Structure 1
Amino acid sequence: MIINNKDCYVNGINYTVRSAIVEDAMVLSELRLQIDGETENLDREKGEAFIDIPGFEQIIKTDSENPKNLFLVAVVQERIIGFSRCEGNHLIRFSHKIEFGVCVLKEYWGYSIGKNLLKESILWADTSGIKKITLNVLETNDKAIKLYEKLGFEIEGILRKDKLLSDGNYYNTLMMGRFNE
């Protein structure tokens, strides 16, 4: 699905949230690799489950055409600095829900970029007849958990000792959901 551009101004920077286009594929491939190396909040180590340019081109094409998918990017001065995806399911029993994921370059944390990507995704979902948005978040990612709760998400389950991080310890993953009545 394609949405209208949304301009944002937070803490002194202007950025735009817009739908991804095929021409973004090269930058997105490099950006995802960089972000994976900047935080342990995501599922992947840097380089794992790498998506190359043709892979991103296909994802963008599919997401642009599928009314149950949404691929957004955040752009500062023509530079993509974060992105999010909502992915629906073709199975009838799950057709009412989508899964949300987001990542933002560490240097742009604190500018509400993830928040605005999520808010645009929620607006799109609510106006598209989607009833539920789900996401997973590492238990130690307190800022994200507070944001999700503020935007109507609730903890629905805990995957105990789900992730092994670089400190050698296992951490829980929180499964969260937001249901639109």
Structure 2
Amino acid sequence: MTFVGGGARMSVHPTLSFDTEIQRAVYEYIEQHGAVEPDELARSIRLESEPSHSKPARSGSYTESICPSMDDLESCLEALETQGYLTEADGKYRVALSTTPKTVELEDGTVTIRAAREEDRHGVIDTMHEVAAEGTYIVAENVATQLERDSALVRANENRSRIFFVAVFEPETEADSDDPRQAAATTDAESGSRVVGWLHIDVNELPSLSHTAELTVGVASDVRHNGIGSHLLEYGLEWAKNAGYRKVYQNVPATNDGAIEFLEANGWHREGEHEAQYRIGDEFVDEIMLATWP
């Protein structure tokens, strides 16, 4: 499971090599906005061009901003898909992240673990806030706040890389087992599917630390103890390994016994601690540093 983009892995400085300026402009717009329809691209993309029937300005040559033709735009999107930079789903283009979904069967439904889509943003943020509200997951709370301010869930540019995987719960319904025609008529909203877990990988901006990545992972309280967290962690670490990261780390308050036990049970090691790193309520709490080498 690897990021596909001109043969490059998703890193702090991905290799973004485009054949034309329109390809660069289209990729950058989609990367900044998460999921974009072709009509929006046609309205938003502007290219600099020299006017063909104008007198030169006294100060010298000048350019004007023009919209690419639909033919040029369609050709550009096709090329970016072929090169692995973008993928299309439900009529929208987004940064390509080539992964294979994983299914976990529960007694009352199914959980699918997959790469996150822009449409998952609110579900991810809500789940993060729910977990952070327990008071022991400071990093998750900070990431949720960043997502509320940012324009896209997944980022992959020359300055930063941030990726999300999600666990989406689909409850079993009577239509699933009794009437296939009724099942086919059931919409996503009616099905009750929701994001119940996330795994987030973020890369340090310094090139000297680009072999490392910070990870957060969490699962909604009502579906815990079903192995979802372990499946998410395995899924994300497999991606990190294939993407070339050598070390993945996470720092948590010493009071977060559940997270520490979970990570250590999955092969993570303590690297040290920062004394009184957090203030939670009226208490100063140490920070435990954990890491693994995928």
Normalised TM-score (structure 1): 0.81
Structure 1 residue 127 corresponds to structure 2 residue 221: no
Q: CA offset at residue 74 of structure 1?
A: 0.7
* Aligned residue number for residue 182 of structure 2: none
* Aligned residue number for residue 41 of structure 1: 136
Percent identity reads 23
* Aligned residue number for residue 29 of structure 1: 125
1:59 to 138, 153, 167: 153
Structure 1 residue 5 corresponds to structure 2 residue 101: yes
* Correspondence 1:28-107 to 2 at 5 A: 28-37=124-133, 39-43=134-138, 49=145, 51-52=147-148, 55=150, 57-60=151-154, 62=155, 69-77=162-170, 78-107=193-222
2:263 to 134, 148, 167: 148
Radius of gyration: which is bigger?
A: 2
More strand by share: 1
Whole-angstrom CA distance in 2 between matches of 1:65 and 1:17? 27
Whole-angstrom CA distance in 2 between matches of 1:164 and 1:120? 32
Q: CA offset at residue 26 of structure 1?
A: 2.8
- Using the TM superposition, name which of 7-16 and 149-158 deviates more: 7-16
CA gap of 1:147–1:29, structure 2 versus 1, over 3 A, is: closer
Whole-angstrom CA distance in 2 between matches of 1:92 and 1:20? 25
Q: CA offset at residue 76 of structure 1?
A: 0.4
Structure 1 residue 108 corresponds to structure 2 residue 220: no
Whole-angstrom CA distance in 2 between matches of 1:139 and 1:160? 10
Superposed CA offset, 1:6-43 (max 9, x none):
11135665211111101112333333333332x11211
* Aligned residue number for residue 30 of structure 2: none
Whole-angstrom CA distance in 1 between matches of 2:278 and 2:283? 8
Q: CA offset at residue 75 of structure 1?
A: 0.5
Whole-angstrom CA distance in 1 between matches of 2:113 and 2:210? 26
Alpha-carbon contact 2:213-2:245 (below 8 Å) kept:
yes
Unaligned runs of 5+ residues in structure 2 are 4-96, 171-192
Other structure's SS at 1:59 match:
coil
Other structure's SS at 2:262 match:
helix
Alpha-carbon contact 1:68-1:98 (below 8 Å) kept:
no
